[in-house]
Amino acid sequence: MSGLVNDGMDKGSMMESEDRIDKTVDIYITAEAVRDMKHKKDTEDFETQTAKTQTPQHTGSDSVRNRSSRAAAVCVVLLCVLLLTAVIVLCVTFTQERQQFISKNENLTNERDQLLFKTENLTNERDQLLFKTENLTNERDQLIFKTENLTNERDQLISKNENLTNERDQLKKYLQSYAEWICYQSRCYYISKENKSSTESKIDCRERGADLVIINNTEEQDFVKKMIGKAIVWIGLTDRDVEGTWKWVDNSTLTSGFSFWGSGEPNGDTTENCAVTVAVPTVPGWGNIVGWLDVKCSLHFQWICEKRISHLTLP
Ligand SMILES: [Ca+2]
Ligand SMILES: [Ca+2]
């Protein structure tokens, strides 16, 4: 029985022990959980407290270090901001300058193209001008050549004109001089308008390529009479060399059987050695004498020149 009791008591003790153990285990477990929770809570509280109380708890060097770190960080940030700003500004500036460069490049390209176009136009114009210049030069040379030819022709024409003018003037003089000549048969006669001595009259006739008139026959005497009208004119008859021997200007002797002396002439002896002819009696004191008269050679009368028609040549 004691066994049983012991057994019963052992079983009850063993159950109580097991319960006790279980409870103890539970207590331990609970205690450990509580301890863990507490530890966790303490840890969190410690960390929190540490976080909250860490700064005040730091020493002075830590504070300075922290401030320096923050300042450095701020500086770094500021430098980064400045660098970023500089990079942005540089990028914007570069972009603007590139756009300006591109724009300028396009403008320069356009200007270059325009200049090339203008250059081509100017080159073409220059070539055209050179071509025109060559043509004008050729035309100028041709004109110079023509001008020289025309100048030579003009000079020749001027020379010819001068020659023709001279010939015309000479012909005029010739015609004017011979307009005063009257031709009869094979001879031409000139009667002066002024009065000169016999010698001067002879000289004048010589200058006209003639000589004082020589009357060879009745027809010529009649012609001279009609020519002189009322004038008294010298004829080419004189006895200056040998008194009484009358000779013509060609040194031929007056034929004794052929003369037209007026009544009573010649009567002047050695004082009257030259002869005149009178057609009508108009001289007072000379009576009514017509025909030839011997008079003083120094007297002044008109005169008649005579030359052959064959001598009427151009001067
Ligand atoms: Ca005489
Ligand atoms: Ca006389």
Distance (angstroms) between ligand 2 centre and the Cα of 286 equals 9
What CATH number has the domain spanning 180-311?
A: 3.10.100.10
User: How many whole angstroms from 215 Cα to the centroid of ligand 2?
Assistant: 18
Nearest bound ligand to CA 294? 2
- CA 281 – ligand 1 centroid, Å: 22
Domain boundaries, the chain: 2-48, 180-311
> What pLDDT is attached to residue 309?
79
Ligand 1 center to residue 192 CA distance, Å?
24
CA–centroid distance, residue 300 to ligand 1 (Å): 17
**Cα 306 to averaged position of ligand 2 atoms, centre (Å):** 23
Q: What CA dihedral angle connects 297, 286, 304 and 203, to 10 degrees?
A: 10
Ligand nearest to the CA of residue 242, numbered in listed order: 1
8 CA from centroid of ligand 1 (Å): 248
Identify which ligand lies nearest to the alpha carbon of 238. Answer: 1
The predicted pLDDT at position 42 comes to: 58
Q: Which residue has the tokens 């008591």?
A: 9
Contact (CB, 8 A) for 189 and 181:
yes
Q: How far apart are CA 95 and CA 79, in angstroms?
A: 23
CA 313, CA 315: separation in Å to the nearest integer? 6
Q: CA 263 to CA 259: how far, in whole Å?
A: 12
In the DSSP assignment, the letter for residue 255 is P
Residue 6 to residue 14: CA distance in whole angstroms: 11
Residues of the chain with pLDDT under 50: 1-15, 17, 21, 24-25, 27-29, 34, 46, 51, 53-58, 315
Give the residues across from 291 on adjacent strands: 278
pLDDT of residue 114: 92
Name residue 167's amino acid: E
Give the type of residue at 35. Answer: R
Structure-token match 């285990």, residue found: 25
pLDDT at 9: 44
Give the Å distance between the CA of 216 and the centre of ligand 1.
20
CA of 135 to the centre of ligand 2 (A): 92
Q: Are 241 and 274 in contact (CB under 8 A)?
A: no
Q: How much distance in Å is there from the Cα of 248 to the middle of ligand 2? A: 17
Instruction: For residue 86, report the distance from its CA to the centre of ligand 2, in Å.
Output: 154
DSSP H stretches of helix in the chain: 2-57, 60-179, 198-207, 218-228
| Residue whose token pair is 């025909």 | 291
- Ligand 1 centroid to Cα of residue 275, in Å, is 9
User: Is 209:311 a contact under the CB 8 Å cutoff?
Assistant: yes
CB 311 within 8 A of CB 219: no
What's the confidence (pLDDT) of residue 41?
59
Q: Ligand nearest 261 Cα, by number?
A: 2
The three-state secondary structure class of 170 is helix
Per DSSP, 301 falls in state: B
Ligand lying nearest the CA atom of residue 291? 2
CA distance 239 to 249: 11
* Phi-psi label, residue 287: left if phi above 0, alpha if psi -120 to 50, beta otherwise: left
- Please report the pLDDT score of residue 66 as a whole number: 82
Q: How far is CA 189 from CA 185, 230, 263, in A?
A: 11, 17, 26
Spatial separation of the C-alpha atoms in residues 212 and 230, rounded to whole Å: 19
